[in-house]
Amino acid sequence: MKFEEAARFGTYIAKSYSKDIFRLLNNYRDISASEAASRLGMHIQTVQDFLEAMAELNILSKKEVTERKRPYFRYTLEKQKIAFEIDLLEELENSGENSLEHSKIREKKNAGVRFSLARNGQYFSNVAIWAGKGRERTEKKINLTTAQGKFLYNLPFPDGEYLSLEEIRVKATIEPDHMPEIKDLVEELIQYKVIEVL
Amino acid sequence: MRKLKPDRGIQGLIFAIFSLLVFFLVLILAGATPALHTLGVIMIIYALAFGLWSFYKTNNYYYLIMVFYMFAVGMFLLLLNFPEDIGSLKTKSNPELKIALLFFYFFAFWMAYVGHKKKLKYRGREIMELAAWDVEDGPESYTERPRPAGVVEYSKYDIIDFGNHLKKNLVCMPFQEENRILLVPVKMGDEFEFLYKPDYDYLSKTWIAFDFDGQVSVHISRKDYLNYKDDLAFDHLCESLGQLFITFADFYMRGNKVRIIDRLNSVKVGLFS
């Protein structure tokens, strides 16, 4: 199951009425939202949303029917058992990881950011980014891991030559194991317009 | 062609202007002899407060010549009793005055030589000129971040010795941290802040850091960057400054210390800028 699907499923299954609706679905061959709502004494929209969500997750099937009135859906339980499994390694990869892998980056001109050196002066310990203007201006401070600090220390200057993440990693003598946390930071800094991508 | 803006600072003249103001004030209020004595006292105070303190902070022995020179001038002025008739000054001069005058001439000539050789000149301006020598104009791309500039293979004590040598020659002022030495080029006129400000914030200045693992990093302050006439390619400028110091370190380690000064002297900059 995809992470987003699991999150959606989890949200609905945590509702107090979910078991009652599933019980109805198990007992009836098929059931409409209004029938279930009247049977359970619930608002039809609540039941409708629940059934629609389950149908989108392929736990239920739905069939459109017309009986002297406007068309509506009848829902049938399709799965007796639901396996809830998330592959975190695959799911939680950085969203732009693959595109970043082949991108070249450098610091953006006039990024409006302050880099603070660690005590030993060999890498950065945090980055302070200012967002907004005038009185609305706020500061966001990102505390860096040692690997992230070393990476940023070696980030090309705004007029420097673009380098790939791998090139910067090698220059900064960072172990490849730290790349996920570096990519995470780079994505964040791209969003804040501190880093630009070629 | 010069890349830095012309130096029009008068920081170095403030003490001289102040002394002259006091001199003329006393001259008007009390006459010539008290005015000369006051000037003499001021010179002796300067000798101690500026000359000796500078020697203590930099280990540059030429400051001792300046101390003796200013002391001789001060003593001469203190011993001088300005007569009503200026023509009788020569006949009335006492032996102590003549000795003081002798010392004054001696140290004045020595000071002239020291001045000619730029032994008491802070070399920050030459360094920034040399760093910008080959750097082209570019879009304004300043960043506060330090830039890694290269790697050297010297021991911790070699790097410390190198820093001390640059300090003695007023090329840079070294600041030792836990894992590295920061070399801060000081320009003429900026030396007073370095000498007298108790919490001198060297990290906000332009610096070149040699860490004890051999990594060299460069930071250029916004003030120094804006002191260039044009916007220079910042990345190239930092790299160039780093390379300059790596070259200096190489000269030093190979025993060619004089090449450092030769390189600095190749930039024709006035004695007071």
Segment 23-52 of chain A within 8 Å of chain B by CB: none
Contact between A109 and B145 using a beta-carbon 8 Å cutoff: no
- Whether B145 sits inside 8 A of A157 (CB atoms) is yes
Final residue of a domain: which of B116, B135, B157?
Answer: B116
Query: Is the ipTM beyond the 0.90 threshold?
Result: no
Instruction: Give chain A's largest Cα–Cα span.
Output: 80
pLDDT tens, residue by residue, A93-105: 655 556 677 788 9
pLDDT at A53: 93
Angstrom distances, CA of residue B36 to CA of A189, B51, B74, B209: 66, 21, 9, 48
Mean pLDDT across chain B: 88
pLDDT single digits (tens) A169-190: 998 889 988 888 898 899 889 9
Residue A153 to residue B145, Cβ atoms within 8 A: yes
Taking the C-alpha atoms of residue A18 and residue B88, their distance in angstroms, rounded to an integer, is 118
Residues 6+ apart with CB under 8 A from A163: A104, A105, A106, A156, A171
The residue among B135, B140, B145 with the most chain A CBs within 10 A of its CB, best to mutate, is: B145
Work out the average pLDDT over B8-33: 86
Residues B109 and B82 in one domain: yes
- Is it the case that residue B271 has pLDDT exceeding 80? no
Structural domains of chain A sorted by starting position, each given as residue range(s) with its CATH number in brackets: 3-77 (1.10.10.10), 94-197 (no CATH)
Between B139, B177, B235, which is nearest A121 by CB?
B177
B178 touches chain A (CB under 8 A): yes
Residues B260, B190 share a domain: yes
Look at B138 and A154 and tell me if their CB atoms are within 8 Å.
Answer: no
Tell me which of A13-27, A84-98, B123-137 is least confident: A84-98
Check residue A60 and give its pLDDT: 93
| Residue B156 · residue B173 · CB < 8 Å | no
Residue B262 CA to residue B194 CA, distance in Å, equals 25
For residue B14, pLDDT beyond 80: yes
Asked if residue B169 and residue B93 are part of one domain, the reply reads no
Distance from CA of B190 to the nearest CA of A (A): 24
Q: How far is B170 from chain A (nearest CA, A)?
A: 24
Q: Is B257 exposed, middle or buried (0-12, 13-18, 19+ CB in 10 A)?
A: middle
* Average pLDDT over every residue of B19-38: 90
Is B179 an interface residue toward A (CB < 8 Å)? yes
Contact A126/B at CB under 8 A: no
CB contact under 8 A, A155 and B211: no
CB pairs under 8 A between A and B: 58
pLDDT, tens digit, 9 for 90 and up, residues A62-81: 998 887 678 889 999 998 88
Same domain, B221 and B109: no
Q: Which residues of B touch A120 (CB under 8 A)?
A: 177-180, 211
Domain assignment present for residue B102? The answer is yes
pLDDT in tens, A144-153: 999 999 999 9
Residue B211 sits at the chain A interface (C-beta within 8 Å)? yes
d(CA A129, CA A80): 51
Q: Tell me the C-alpha distance between A26 and B238, whole Å.
A: 72
- In this prediction, residue B90 carries a pLDDT of 60
Question: In this predicted structure, which of A185-194, B23-32, B60-69, B89-98 has the lowest mean pLDDT?
Answer: B89-98
Work out the average pLDDT over B31-38: 89
Residue A165 CB coordination number (10 Å): 19
What is the DSSP secondary structure assignment for residue B79, as one 8-state letter?
H
Count the domains in chain B. 2
For residues B88 and B219, state if they share a domain: no
- The pLDDT value recorded for residue B89 is 59
Q: Are strands B147-151 and B215-219 parallel, antiparallel or unpaired?
A: antiparallel
Instruction: Kindly indicate the confidence band of residue A134, based on its pLDDT and cuts at 50, 70 and 90.
Output: confident
- Residue B228 belongs to domain spanning: 124-265
Residue in B141, B180, B203 closest to A157 by CB: B141
pLDDT band with cut points at 50, 70 and 90 for residue A15: very high
- Asked whether residue A191 carries a pLDDT value surpassing 90, the answer given is no
Instruction: For B148, name the nearest residue in chain A, comparing CA atoms only.
Output: A154
Window 137-166 of A, Cβ < 8 Å to B: 152-161
Greater confidence (A70 vs A48) lies with A48
Which pLDDT band, with edges at 50, 70 and 90, does B103 fall under? confident
CA distances from B64 to B17, B61, B122 (A): 23, 5, 16
Residue B58 φ/ψ, nearest 5 degrees: -115, -15
pLDDT at B206 over 60: yes
Among the three residues B116, B135, B161, which one is the final residue of a domain in this structure?
Answer: B116
Of B98, B116, B134, the last residue of a domain is: B116
Contact at CB, A122 and B141, closer than 8 angstroms: no
| Residue B271 domain-assigned (yes or no) | no
* Predicted pLDDT of residue B84: 63
Cα B56 to Cα B76: distance, rounded to the nearest angstrom: 25
Q: Note the pLDDT of residue A111.
A: 80
Percent of chain A with pLDDT over 90: 34
Comparing CB atoms, the residue among B138, B179, B235 nearest residue A121 is: B179
The alpha helices in B117-232, defined as continuous H runs, are 124-132, 156-168, 191-196, 222-226
Q: B257-263: which pairs have CB atoms within 8 A and are 24 or more residues apart?
A: B257/B165, B260/B166, B260/B169, B260/B171, B261/B169, B263/B130
Whole-model pTM? 0.74
